[in-house]
């Protein structure tokens, strides 16, 4: 859910054509790396199979599999899971299409369950979080650990009100230019609303095809401009720890992931099974 900036490399080179959904996901989430050392460290300290909840296109799952861990990547989005599966070819990654609030896997001995990138904020209220916490606990071994990244701080802005906004994220994929423009981050009651405008443009002509001295022509827009809105329910460390206790977990000291120039900071709430 990171708000980040700049032009991004998207997906592995030479891969099959990507679904637009995967391109947007890679563009808007894929460049975040500040949390990876913590997941690697938790995986090394909690040896055994890992369950990555809300795994998306595999940003974290693939990193841990490359480090030699066995990972089950769970997500409700079949298109993202399909991309993850293709990227994980040859690695110890299992994909599972399921909902975080209701999953039932045969495997119940996970050493570590991860919920990276503030995905837990997508669950609606204590009821949905409680359902997820109960499912997570049921799938962890007795000494297992659940680690959930929550929002630490964030800046509000509104492009329509003339506020400065982060630079759009851009990527050129299969000859098409994708641009995601951050438009607004606002608080509505207990929710943070993040709005982006997504535009698909014809990629500019190669420099050799342009007359000398001519700058890039403006790119033609392909299709409608799409508005993407994500709502995050706010939750504090102490609230999540209290809900964890209700689900049978024992909280351990939370860990901070500081903000970077491009991304907001997180707190990772740690709950022992």
Ligand X SMILES: C[S@@+](CC[C@H](N)C(=O)[O-])C[C@H]1O[C@@H](n2cnc3c(N)ncnc32)[C@H](O)[C@@H]1O
Residue range at the interface with ligand X (CB under 6 A); choices 51-59, 194-202, 220-228, 255-263: 51-59
Using DSSP bridges, classify how beta strands 6-7 and 169-173 pair: parallel, antiparallel or unpaired.
Answer: parallel
Q: Specify the residue, 202 or 229, whose C-beta has the smaller distance to ligand X.
A: 229
Q: Specify the residue, 15 or 203, whose C-beta has the smaller distance to ligand X.
A: 15
Region 214-253 residues binding ligand X, contact defined as CB under 6 A: none
59 binds ligand X (CB under 6 A): yes
Q: How far is CA 198 from the centre of its chain?
A: 17
Rounded to whole angstroms, what are the CA distances from 57 to 7, 25, 41, 78, 265? 19, 7, 21, 10, 21
| Burial status of residue 74 (CB atoms within 10 A of its CB: 0-12, 13-18, 19 or more) | buried
Q: At what angle do helices 78-87 and 20-29 cross, to 10 degrees?
A: 80
Contact in structure between 271 and 248 (CB atoms under 8 Å): no
Q: Helix or strand or coil: residue 99?
A: coil
In the complex, the smallest distance separating the C-beta of residue 217 from ligand X, rounded to whole angstroms, is 34
| List 119, 168, 196, 235, residue binding ligand X (CB under 6 A) | 119
Region 63-102 residues binding ligand X, contact defined as CB under 6 A: 75-77, 80, 99-101
116 binds ligand X (CB under 6 A): yes
Residue range at the interface with ligand X (CB under 6 A); choices 117-125, 190-198, 232-240, 260-268: 117-125
| CA distance linking residue 212 with residue 210, whole number of Å | 6
In sequence order, the 6+-apart residues with CB closer than 8 A to the CB of 214 are none
In the complex, the smallest distance separating the C-beta of residue 54 from ligand X, rounded to whole angstroms, is 3
262 binds ligand X (CB under 6 A): no
Q: Specify the residue, 137 or 204, whose C-beta has the smaller distance to ligand X.
A: 137
In the complex, the smallest distance separating the C-beta of residue 220 from ligand X, rounded to whole angstroms, is 30
Q: At what angle do helices 59-66 and 36-45 cross, to 10 degrees?
A: 50
**Contact set with ligand X (CB under 6 A):** 1, 29, 54-56, 59-60, 75-77, 80, 99-101, 116-117, 119, 122
């Amino acid at each position: 859910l990171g708000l980040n900036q700049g032009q991004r490399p998207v997906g592995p080179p030479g891969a099959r054509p990507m679904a637009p959904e995967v391109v947007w996901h890679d563009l808007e989430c894929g460049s975040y790396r500040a949390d990876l050392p913590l997941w690697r460290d938790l995986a090394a300290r909690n040896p055994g199979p890992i369950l990555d909840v809300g795994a998306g296109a595999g940003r974290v799952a693939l990193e841990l599999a490359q480090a030699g861990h066995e990972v089950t990547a769970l997500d409700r989005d079949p298109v993202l899971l399909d991309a993850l599966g293709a990227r994980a070819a040859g690695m110890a990654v299992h994909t599972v299409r399921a909902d975080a609030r209701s999953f039932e896997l045969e495997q119940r001995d996970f050493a570590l369950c991860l919920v990276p990138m503030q995905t837990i904020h997508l669950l609606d209220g204590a009821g949905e979080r409680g359902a997820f916490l109960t499912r997570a606990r049921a799938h962890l071994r007795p000494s297992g650990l659940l680690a959930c990244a929550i929002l630490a701080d964030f800046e509000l802005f509104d492009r329509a009100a003339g506020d400065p906004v982060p630079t759009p994220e851009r990527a050129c994929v299969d000859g098409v230019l994708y641009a995601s423009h951050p438009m607004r981050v606002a608080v509505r009651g207990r929710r943070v609303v993040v709005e982006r405008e997504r535009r698909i443009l014809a990629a500019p002509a190669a420099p050799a095809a342009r007359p000398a001295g001519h700058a890039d022509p403006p790119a033609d827009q392909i299709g409608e401009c799409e508005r993407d809105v994500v709502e995050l329910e706010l939750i504090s460390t102490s609230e999540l720890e209290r809900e964890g206790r209700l689900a049978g977990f024992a909280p351990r000291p939370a860990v901070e992931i500081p903000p970077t120039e491009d991304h907001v900071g997180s707190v990772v709430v740690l709950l022992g099974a």
